[in-house]
Amino acid sequence: MGEQRWLSAIGLRGRIAGAILVTAVVALAVAAVVLLGPLEHSLRTAELKTLQQQVSFVPQSIKTKDPTLAHLYDVAPKAYSGRTPDAAHDALLAAEAKLGSRLQAQEVAILGYPDSSGHAQWIVVWPDTRLVTGDRAGDAAKAFRTGNRYYSLGSINDVEYAEAALPFTTRAQDLGGAPMRWVLIVRKSLVEVNSAVSTIRTAFLIAALVALALTLILGIPLSGRIVRRLRLLRQAALRLADEGPSVEVPLDRARDEVGDLARTFALMQGRLLQQEEARRAFVATASHELRTPLATLDGMLELLGEDLRSGDPDLQDAQQLLDRARAQSRRLGRLAADLLDLSRIDAQVELRSEPVELSELSRAVLAEFELGTGERQISTVLDDEDGPVWALGDPGSVARILRILMDNAVRLSPDGGEVTVQLRNGEAASLSVCDQGPGVLAEERELIFERFMRGRQTAGQVGFGLGLAIGRELAQRMGGELVLEQRDGPGARFTLRLPVAHPSDVEAVGVS
């Protein structure tokens, strides 16, 4: 809890800036560990390999045509014997200096084995005998014992070197028992390597400090801008909660996540506004549609009651009032059914998906309209010349859509007209209902599929403007569509298209 309060006190801006800074520091530290250490090791190893290549010409025997080495090998025994120490040491020092200059080495030394103490003896070292102070010449001893060359990195008096220990032999001479085996030590200082590594470290440190400074300079304003944009969205959300969906949402055109969030928020606000307007329209329309038949029904029942209380009722008038009351009751029933369908659609109630034979279903629905069409002499025709038409959908929903289309067609068709139900196979299974009514104006072709919207050509007709909206939403829920097609001549043609049921699906329901 204490940590959460501490983070809340810092705020999002501080956390973003801190996260950016920590990330930059960790990245630079990892880069330093990964780059500088291996770089230093690579430079030292490269210097040692260079030394190894430079001394590759030094043979292990006195038999050499190289004048520098021949002279070195010749004066070494004399210097070791001590017979002519000054002259021999000077000659050996000159030979070492010449070899050191040739190899660009900082130190060249000859060791003889063994002396009276059993240890190696430094004969002479170029350029300064003080350089060997504290050097136990471990590689030289191993080279003498094994006869192999050794290359290593080490330090003497806090000075780092790349070292080569090269064993060689000289010809036998009567030198008072002097040995014939020797070790040549060549050392090259790593001062330049250390200097280069130090320069790189300094440059890396400067670059790191500059990078951190730029991170802070750019990260703090960026985090502040993000926080300000989020704060505007928060204020808009609070206003939306208090004042409703009609509040103005800040427009953010930035192409980033916050901008996407702002645009999504604006889209949500627009949808909420549409839903609010639809709700108000629904309440107003439903109130009106309910009030009218209820008032009519109440008035007719009151007249019927007065007629019955008079003691001498007019049966013919009473029958007419009863018929009209039943008509208003059916109207209220249709409205209740439509509202129930809408509530199921809005609740996303899952529909069935199974093979539906449209011919049999159409015959059953058309039979329900025989009474109404017979009274007005409207003929209904089923055109199923393609044979059985199998669609994939919810049988109850398909029947509900067909009833909606048939109810509209019968109500809008003139007396003595014709309503045709046409079934066709193709890429989709289609069911079309064609009437001879007034048709639909071009500017209202999509408007009539919205809730509580009716075309102007249906003025004076009984209806709530919900049927086609319910039909389209049910069709879409089944993976199909309900459209108003272009038609030459009077009337309208509404077509329901559904996915085709495959033969395997049809066989699964036991139909051959």
Confidence at residue 429, expressed as pLDDT on a 0 to 100 scale? 92
Spatial neighbors of 308 by CB under 8 A, at least 6 apart, are 318
Any domain includes 387: yes
Distance (Å, whole) CA 105 – CA 100: 5
Any domain includes 236: no
Angle made by CA atoms 259, 263, 265, in degrees to the nearest 5: 115
Count of the separate structural domains present in the chain: 4
Same domain membership, residue 370 and residue 337 = no
Same domain membership, residue 202 and residue 176 = no
The SS3 of residue 482 is: strand
Same domain membership, residue 182 and residue 77 = yes
378 — alpha (psi -120 to 50), left (phi > 0) or beta? beta
Confidence at residue 240, expressed as pLDDT on a 0 to 100 scale? 75
Confidence at residue 78, expressed as pLDDT on a 0 to 100 scale? 60
Same domain membership, residue 366 and residue 475 = yes
Any domain includes 224: yes
Backbone phi, psi, residue 420, to 5°? -115, 130
Which domain does 44 fall in, by range?
2-52+196-230
Same domain membership, residue 140 and residue 90 = yes
HEC secondary structure over 440-466? CCHHHCCHHHCCCCCCHHHCCCCCCCC
What is the model's pTM?
0.47
Same domain membership, residue 292 and residue 221 = no
Distance (Å, whole) CA 334 – CA 248: 39
Confidence at residue 69, expressed as pLDDT on a 0 to 100 scale? 62
Same domain membership, residue 274 and residue 172 = no
Dihedral, CA of residue 253, residue 254, residue 260 and residue 262, to nearest 10? -60
Any domain includes 362: yes
Same domain membership, residue 319 and residue 218 = no
Q: Is the CB of residue 197 less than 8 Å from the CB of residue 56?
A: no
Confidence at residue 336, expressed as pLDDT on a 0 to 100 scale? 75
Distance (Å, whole) CA 196 – CA 47: 12
- Amino acid residing at 53: Q
> pLDDT tens, position by position, for the chain (512 residues)?
444 454 444 555 566 666 667 777 777 777 777 777 787 778 888 888 888 887 777 665 555 555 656 656 666 666 555 544 566 667 767 777 777 777 778 778 777 665 545 456 666 565 665 555 556 667 777 887 788 888 888 777 777 888 888 887 766 554 444 446 778 888 888 877 777 778 877 887 887 788 777 777 776 676 677 777 777 777 777 777 777 777 776 676 677 677 777 777 777 777 777 777 767 766 776 676 677 677 777 777 787 777 777 777 777 777 777 777 777 777 777 777 777 777 777 667 778 889 999 999 999 999 888 877 777 788 888 998 888 899 999 998 899 999 889 988 888 888 888 999 999 998 899 999 999 888 888 788 888 887 766 666 554 455 567 788 888 988 998 999 999 988 777 788 999 999 998 766 665 555 54
Encoded tokens for 4: 């959460």
Confidence at residue 103, expressed as pLDDT on a 0 to 100 scale? 77
Same domain membership, residue 74 and residue 184 = yes
Dihedral, CA of residue 235, residue 236, residue 239 and residue 244, to nearest 10? -160
DSSP code for 432? E
Confidence at residue 120, expressed as pLDDT on a 0 to 100 scale? 60
Q: Which residue has the tokens 């206003």?
A: 239
Q: How far is CA 256 from the centre of its chain?
A: 13
Same domain membership, residue 374 and residue 482 = yes
Confidence at residue 495, expressed as pLDDT on a 0 to 100 scale? 93
Confidence at residue 1, expressed as pLDDT on a 0 to 100 scale? 46
Distance (Å, whole) CA 97 – CA 317: 142
Q: Is the CB of residue 196 less than 8 Å from the CB of residue 47?
A: no
Q: Is the CB of residue 128 less than 8 Å from the CB of residue 100?
A: no
Q: Measure Cα distances from 303 to 321, 325, 439 in Å.
A: 8, 11, 38
CATH code for the domain in which residue 420 is found: 3.30.565.10
Any domain includes 340: yes
DSSP code for 116? T
Same domain membership, residue 412 and residue 270 = no
Confidence at residue 108, expressed as pLDDT on a 0 to 100 scale? 80
